[in-house]
Amino acid sequence: MKCQKCEKPATFHITDITGKEGLLELHLCPDCAKHYLQTGEGQQETPKISGVLSTQLKLEQTAEDLKELDGKECPICGISFYEFRQAGRLGCPHDYVFFGEELEPLLINVHSGSQHVGKQPKRGVRDTESQTELIRLRREMKEAVQEENYERAQELRDRIRSIEGEGQSSE
């Protein structure tokens, strides 16, 4: 493979995730890679995302697979895979589960594995599901209000309050 900026062979495969362009793949020779990494083309003082990843993202899907995948939407926050791909940002904690299969190869490429081994919250992780549920209910409530379906909004608000109440009492 040739360098995208000159004719030399590309040996650096850089995946840069920026806020604006989404996932940007670059194949560069050592000289151009050095220039790219140093001059901060496309970088900001504070990494927009954690920055430049010198590993290759393997999105080996066919066009059709990709189109189908792009349409997949998280039931909790409503983000589509397409939006994530464009923005490089996820929409809610549940996306890690919902898009888990797609994220795994990315995580393995970027990190040293896909299993967390660092510190853990001392409080149990048990209530995460009801917390995620809150995100969905609040979204549905906003939609109900927008559609002027106040009966539904009222119902949703009661469920939100009851989950929030459980959370408080378990603290």
Indicate the Cα dihedral angle 41, 42, 48, 54, nearest 10°: -70
Distance of CA 78 to the CA centre of its chain: 13
Smallest gap from residue 91 Cβ to another protein (A): 4
Q: Which partner from the list Zn ion, another protein, none does 110 bind, CB cut-off 5 to 8 Å by kind?
A: another protein
Would you give the binding string for Zn ion spanning residues 94-113, x where CB under 5 A is met?
xx------------------
CA distance 121 to 123: 5
Q: Which of 2, 8, 58, 111 binds another protein (CB under 8 A)?
A: 111
CB of 80 to another protein, least distance (A): 11
Name residue 73's beta-bridge partners. 80
**66 binding another protein? (CB under 8 A):** no
| CA pair distance 106, 110, nearest whole angstrom | 6
Q: Does 153 bind Zn ion (CB under 5 A)?
A: no
Quick one: tokens of 84?
């994530």
**Minimal distance in Å, beta carbon 32 to Zn ion?**
3
For residue 170, which phi and psi values (nearest 5 degrees)?
-85, -5
- The C-alpha angle 164, 169, 171, rounded to 5 degrees, equals 100
Q: Residues in the site for another protein, rule: CB under 8 A? A: 17, 30, 34, 37-40, 43-54, 76-79, 87-93, 96-97, 103, 106-107, 110-123, 125, 127-128, 131-132, 134-135, 138-139, 142, 167
